[in-house]
Structure 1
Amino acid sequence: MKTEKIEDKVVLNIPVYLSKALQDQLYLLQYPNRPQNFTYDDETILQARIKPINELIELEVGLRTRTPVFSRSKAEQIAINVDGAFRHEKSDEDNYYSGNMMDKLVLTSVKNHLDIRTAALGVMSDGTFHITSLKSIISMKPSFSYLDLAENRSQKDQKSYVEENKTEETAKRVTVRFERPETDRSKDLKEKSYASLQKRLQSEAWINLNYNRYGSERSDFESRFLYCSHPEEVIDRFLLSDEEFLGYLIPKNVEPECVNPGLPANYMSLSALKSMPLEDQVKIIIQKACVASFNEILCLRANKNSNEDHISVVRVIEQHAVLVQGNWVIKSELFYPKDYSSEYNVSNELLQRARDCILYLFTKSTTINRSNITELINIPAEEITKILKGVARFKSGRKTWDFVVPTDNNFIKKYPDVVQRQKMIWQLRYENILQTFKKIK
C-alpha cells in the first residue's frame, strides 16, 4: 500500500523577539493547590518577602473571616494555641496573629527541579511574540508552621509546669565522648547536609517586597518591560561567529542603572559589576546587601587575592559602610538619603541618628532589647521597627532582637587596626546621638 506524501503548508509567520529588560529577574509562581478559576488575584496580600539567594518567597494572605464557611470559634482557638491565652497583653510584633483569631494564611515557595533554560515567559502583541527568560519556577503552597508554634508552646508550658512542681533533682549518669577529628570528606558531607543547608537558609535576611495587584497601574507599567524595546535588532546565529554571538547575548560595556537598596528587582549581572571601578563596585554591593561580610564583598567583586587589594577594598568600604560585629553595614546617611520621605514625618537627620544608635548597641552586643532603644531615642515605634527589621531578626521566645548575621571573627582578628579605628568612630557618633536626642527631650 503506497501512502501519499502530504506537505504541511506554512499558515502564519510570527516574528519572535527576545526581551532582556527583565532578564534573570522574573519568577514564575505556580499554585498547585488552587483551582484555575479560584486565583489569589482578589485576595488581600498582607505581606510579601523574599530571600533572593536561596530563592525563597513568602506571601501572607488575609483570610475572609466574615464568610459563612469560616469558623470563628476554631480560628480563635488556633490563635490561643499559637500565641497563648494572654496574647492580648503582648504587642502585635510578639504575636503570630495580629487579631484575636487566625486571620491569615502563609504561602511558602517550593522550588521546582526543572531545567529553567527550557522555559520562558511569552506575550503576544500585534502578531509578534516576545519572550523573556525566567529566573526560577516556584510553587507556592500553604505553610502550616503555626502548628509547630502551637506544639512548641504546649511543650514549653508543660516543661515550665514540671519545673515549678519539681521538688528534688535526682542524679543522672553522664557519658563523656570525644569527637573524632574531621576529615575533608566528613567536612564535605557536613556542608551538604540538611542541617547545613537549613542554617544557610536561615542566615539570609528577608527582604520585604511591595505587592502590586494584577491590573494595577504599577503592574501594567512593569508589564511593558516584557516587550522587546529594540525590535529592529536582529541576531542570526548562523551568520555570526561564536564570539560575536556571545557579544550580543552578554554585552561587554553595560551602563549600570542606579540601584535602590533592598529592592531585589534591581539586580545587576556580575559581568557588568566587575567591569566597573573599585569604588562603584563596593558602593553598589553595599547598597544592595545593606549588611555583608568582607568575604562576601570580595566574592562579588573582581577575583583578586593580594593583600594590597584587600586593604584598598577596606578603605573604599569605610567610605560607604560602618563595621558592626565584624560585618559591614551601609551608612545611615546613605540608607536615609536627603530625598527619603518618612511616613510619620520624621526628619532624615533623626532617622539617621536613630539607626546609628541601634547599630552602636549592636557593636556592643549581638542581642538587644526594645526597651533599651526606646530609653535612648524618641521617634515613632513604627520607624524603630523598620530599622530593626533591616539589621536584625526578632526572637519571639526571648523577646529580643538578634543581629542579622553572625559575628565575623576572622575579619576582627585579621584587621585589628580597622576594628580599633571603627570603635573610635562609633564612640564619637554615639556622643553626638545622645546630644541630639537630649535636645529633643
Structure 2
Amino acid sequence: MDSGANLIDQEHESRYIKDKDREKSQYFKNGIMDKIVLESSVPCFKTEHYAVALLQDKELHCTPVKGIIQLRPSCSFYDKQDKQKNDKNKADNSDDEDKEPEIQQVTVKFARQETEISKKAREKSYETISQRILDEPWYDGLWKSSDSDQAELERLKLFSAVTTDGSSLTLPHSEYVRALVPAAPADEAGAVVAKRPSLQEQIKEILISAKLMTFNELRGRVYNEDGSVAGEAAVLNALGGAACCVRGLWAPRSADLYTRPSPAPPHLMCTARDHVLYLFTQHPYVDRRKVAAAVRLPPNDVLQIIRSVAKFTPRMGWELLLPPDTAFEAKYNDIVQRQNTYWEARQRQFNEMLIGENVNKRQRKKSQRDSICDAINSPKPRCNSVSEDDSERKRKNKSSSGVGKRTRNISSSSVQDST
C-alpha cells in the first residue's frame, strides 16, 4: 500500500511540474491572441530630405524631421513554437544518442592580419551594421494620446510664425535683380545703414513696453523693411510667434518677460502669469488673494504680475487695462479659438503641477507624523545623572538628621527622669 501511495504522489508531482513548464512556455497566457508586440526599426538614416507639413489657411507649414522610427508587429511566438517542435523531435530521437558519434572532418582556419581595406569592408558589412543596431542602447519613451493636452501643445509648435519669405522667386523683377547685384557702397565710409528689425522683434518690443494693446493700435506701429506700414496678414502671422491673445487684446509672452533669474524662478513666474491670463479669459474680474493662494508666490511678485496686464477697480477687483476687443474676436474667430485652446492646455498643466505638489506635501506630513509617533512610542531613558558626591552628601544629611532627633528624645527623657 505504501509503495502504491508513493507512486500516486510521484505522478501528481510530475504532472504539476509539466503543467508549470507548459504555462511558462505559453506565449499567450489566456489561450487567445490578446496582446501584440511592436518592434521598432529604422527605415532610413538620411532624414534631411523629409519633413512634416500642415496645411491651414492656404499656408503650408513644413517642419524638418530629425529621425524616423517604424513600428512593426513582432511574431516571435512562431519561433518559439518551431523551437518547441525541434526540442520534441530531439527528445523522441534520444535513443540514438547512445550511439557513438560519427567522425567528422574539422577544418582549421588561422586568422591573418587585417588590412585597412578589409577593415573598412568589414565595418560596412551587413553583419556589422546589424550587430551595431542590436548593441544600440534603449531609451525610455513616454506615450501620450493624440487628443491629450501635451499632444495639442506639440501640434501647435508645427505652425511656423516666421513671416519673411525665404524664396526669391516670388520677388518682383526689380527686387530680384537687386538681390543678385547689390548696390554700390555709399560714398561716406563711416555711413552704416541700420537694418530694421523683423516684424516679430518689433511686436515683442512694443508689447513689452505697452503691456496690452489692440490689434489696430499694434498694426499702426509695425513697419516693413522699406518703411511702409505692415499689412494685416503679415502682422497676424507675426503675432502667432511673438504675442498671446486675451479677450481680443494682445500681450507679450511670459517667456519674453521673465528671462533673467529673480527671487522667484523664471518658470514659476511664467506659469503664474499664464494662470492670471487664463483667468481673464474666463472672468472679467480677478481676486488677487485667490491668485496668490493658487500660485504660491510672494505677494510682491503676484502684484507685479497682475499689474502688468490689469488695473484695480474698487469693490470689483482687478480687470484688464483695456476693454475686450469684441470686433477682433468676431472677425478672427479661428485665431481666438486657437488661443483659447492654448490657454486651456496651459491651465491643465498648472492644475497637474498643483496636484503633484499637494501629493508631495501629504507624503512629507505623513513621514513627519510617523517619526513623531516613533519618538513617542520609544521608551525614554531614565535620568541617572546624579554624581557620587551628591549621593554621599544626601546620605550624610539623612544620618545627621536622624542623630539629632534621637538626641532630643534622649534629653527629654533624661529631664523627666531627673524630675
* Category of TM-score, reference length = shorter chain: 0.3 to 0.5
Which is strand-richer, 1 or 2? 1
Higher-Rg member (1/2): 2
The structure with the greater share of residues assigned to helix is: 2
Q: Which one has more relative contact order, counting CA pairs under 8 Å at least 6 apart?
A: 1
TM-score by length of 2: 0.37
